[in-house]
Structure 1
Amino acid sequence: MTVRTFLVGLGWSGQEIWLPRLLAHDGYDVVAAADPDPGRRAAFTAATGRPAFADTRAFDTGQADLAVVAVPNHAHAPVARDLLLRGLATFVEKPVCLSAGEAELLADAERRGGAPLLAGSAFRHRADVAELARLVPALGRIRNVDVSWVRARGVPQAKGWFTNRSQAGGGVLFDLGWHLLDVLDAVVGPLTFDQVAAVTTDDHVNEAGWTAAWRHDPPAPGVTADVEDTVRAFLVAEGGLSVGLRASWASHSATHDATTIRVEGTAGTATMCCTFGFSPHRVPRPGITHVRAGEVSEIPVPPEPVGAEYDRQLATLGTLASAPSSRGRAIEGAHRIVRAIEAIYAAAATSLVPAGPAEFKAGER
């Protein structure tokens, strides 16, 4: 069965990640696209021979089986809600939504429209993440997980929508942090947090030398970024499992753009180090290290082409779009993630205010 696909958004993600893969996959037929930019629409039609609309509402959803939404963050929930209410299975890139309130609106649209919301970071589909998840049962009772994604120089679209709070929802926490929280869910299972402490900083986000040159984002002169470029958080889940999270778009200490996940249990520790995403500044030797009772084992991870996780994710979307069991699952995960993000921002905001001992409950909800 060929999945008739409506691509919403022809920006960097739509053009660099989704359109080439959809066109190359025999299981998908891109029947139309939508984007407010007339130049992008014209280029899409010239390349595919298919129509492109300025507004998703001009498209007849009965002509598609699946929508792939790759628009700026602030438009994710409104666009997805409209498509879901019109009965079209809808895949939304991260962040699925920018607040718990938006998550509830999406859940309502999914129920009323009858079609599933599909979501999830592509990185849970990486081969090394799957191998790490397979190791977890051998680690005993999990006590702590550290998740980190640090770029040497990687501020995206400096001074554009990506670094504008009203359009992006936040900074690196919504960008890289959402991925880390989603992969955390995939590796150790769903978590809700009782206690959160956090700090955010914005030391580099307005300095041109720290931008992600490899993204080739057009500059937006005269606009000042108002989001964080680094977040550090410590979260405690029900049952006492602790999670350390760090996400940075820029760092003096990093020589490569590195992602690290360390899972510590009563019977051992497993640490994965690699590079998520498309940055060319990659960890030279990615892999997984397993330590048990002082014995160190290196777990081989087969090399994969950059972006293979997106191909693997795409291979599952068509089936999920038509499966009744898909309804409710993605929005549950998105709701957990966005509540954790809201708690981290709340804790970081409170940490800027000097507090006496009696006030040190800022991270609680």
Structure 2
Amino acid sequence: MSERSESGGLRGVVPPRGDESERSERGGLRGVVPPRGDESGATVRTALVGCGWAGRSIWLPRLAGHPAYEVVAAVDPDPAARDAIGGQGVPRVLADLDELERGEVDLAVVAAPNHLHAPVAARLLERGVPVFVEKPVCLNVTEAERLSAAESAGGAILLAGSAAPYRADVRALYALAAELGPIRHVDVAWVRARGVPGAGGWFTDRSRSGGGALVDLGWHLLDTVGPMLGTAVFEQVAGAVSADFVNAGYLRAQWRGDADAEAPGTGDVEDTARGFLVTEDGVSVSLRASWASHQARDVTRFTVESVSGTAELTCTFGFSSNRQAESVLTRTRHGTTVPVPLPVEPVGAEYSRQLDELPALLADPAGRGAAIGGARRTIAVIERLYGSARAARRAALVPEVQGAG
């Protein structure tokens, strides 16, 4: 059974990382209000590994603009990607990880295609280079174990996770959920109208992506639900997937600027995943992750049903321009729904807030193993959802035998 806080809510609602047993020497919850840089004021020398869309558009500008970091190198084997990063103030643009010296960097940020996350991170960790890996941290439990072994062998720390729990509206949801008492059910969904990433690229190639919308969007959703449920284990998992839109060119994610966005695709992954999960103490979670649908806008929604009321957050995760105008958080009790004020923040602010936390985590040896533990739990759930979906399809192929027995 998962432990509950004194307020009656499931432990882990407020902080995006850690639980109430993980406190810094200052007495605060680790990672909630982290300092910029370390206590000496030195910057974190950082290498960006992967210069594709995420590396160039999400990580490089935020690292370069953050006072706690100094971008000293970028690494990508693709000459076109290296050319695209040129002129952006990076002192060294390299073609191979072996060109990156251990003493040259304090942190490597891995933003490569999914299938390279674990292998690249493991190579760096084994050499003693601390690593931050964006989601998905790994594509299966075997990769998670490799990362764990590499972290132990090299003595460097692995940091990981999605930025969604650092959104101001999500943090407000956590606070409201804690006020409403024990959670009974959580409904989470990230449904895009037209948002299939890539145009015949690695995103829709299972051998390189590890999966479709479940791996891409579902990891964010599971990472966001995690702090509300604490360490509760999912005892029951049922999943279903479909691929009705993945190869329709007109449903591509236009904001990514992918080439040939209107061309039909040849993807072999799902564009929609649905799941229903039940924890060991009876809390249920329904999940939907969709790259494309028939709705007009890209919308992310969380509904938290608790003993003393219901909290609902409607917003848009990510960078889509086809988004809800503003986030809306409400509390419903005894038939009355009232809005909860939310701060206004620019799109992508959660990534900068996540970067705020990393220097303190880098300096904390007690945190070693925490990130891989979280990644192991997340990928295990994703694997079980895919396994359930496969089993259901196999069962549907077995013809009913009339008059058997």
TM-score range, shorter chain: over 0.9
The equivalent residue for 1:200 is: 241
2: CA distance between counterparts of 1:48 and 1:78? Answer: 27
Counterpart residue type for residue 224 of structure 1: T
1: CA distance between counterparts of 2:91 and 2:197? Answer: 30
Q: Any stretches of 5+ residues in structure 2 without a counterpart?
A: 1-41, 398-405
Q: Give % identity.
A: 54
2: CA distance between counterparts of 1:188 and 1:249? Answer: 26
- 2:208 pairs, out of 167, 173, 188, with 167
1: CA distance between counterparts of 2:349 and 2:252? Answer: 25
Q: 1:134-188: CA deviations, max 9, x gaps?
A: 1122222211111100000000003210000000000000000000000001233
Task: Note if contact 1:92-1:118 (Cα within 8 Å) is conserved in structure 2.
Answer: yes
- 2:288 pairs, out of 246, 251, 255, with 246
When the two chains are superposed, the root-mean-square deviation of aligned CA atoms in Å is 1.7
- 2:149 pairs, out of 108, 112, 121, with 108
Give the TM-score normalised by structure 2: 0.85
- 2:229 pairs, out of 188, 192, 199, with 188
Shift of 1:42: 3.7
Moved more, 48-57 or 205-214: 48-57
Q: What secondary structure does 1:128 align onto?
A: helix
Q: 1:23-46: CA deviations, max 9, x gaps?
A: 111211111110011233244343
Moved more, 42-51 or 95-104: 42-51
Q: What secondary structure does 1:83 align onto?
A: helix
Q: Any stretches of 5+ residues in structure 1 without a counterpart?
A: 357-365
Q: 1:194-232: CA deviations, max 9, x gaps?
A: 111111000000110111111111249786100000011
2: CA distance between counterparts of 1:120 and 1:355? Answer: 36
2: CA distance between counterparts of 1:223 and 1:270? Answer: 39
Q: What secondary structure does 2:88 align onto?
A: helix
1: CA distance between counterparts of 2:90 and 2:272? Answer: 43
Give the TM-score normalised by structure 1: 0.94
Task: Note if contact 1:7-1:33 (Cα within 8 Å) is conserved in structure 2.
Answer: yes
1: CA distance between counterparts of 2:316 and 2:193? Answer: 12
- 1:236 pairs, out of 272, 278, 296, with 278
2: CA distance between counterparts of 1:305 and 1:354? Answer: 47
- Confirm or deny that 1:12 pairs with 2:56: no
- 2:105 pairs, out of 36, 46, 64, with 64
The 1:155–1:355 alpha-carbon spacing in structure 2 relative to 1, beyond 3 Å, is: closer
Shift of 1:258: 0.4
Task: Note if contact 1:72-1:168 (Cα within 8 Å) is conserved in structure 2.
Answer: yes
Shift of 1:292: 1.5
Q: What secondary structure does 2:338 align onto?
A: strand
1: CA distance between counterparts of 2:217 and 2:143? Answer: 20
The equivalent residue for 2:338 is: 297
Counterpart residue type for residue 112 of structure 2: V
The equivalent residue for 1:24 is: 65
The equivalent residue for 2:81 is: 40
- 2:163 pairs, out of 92, 99, 122, with 122
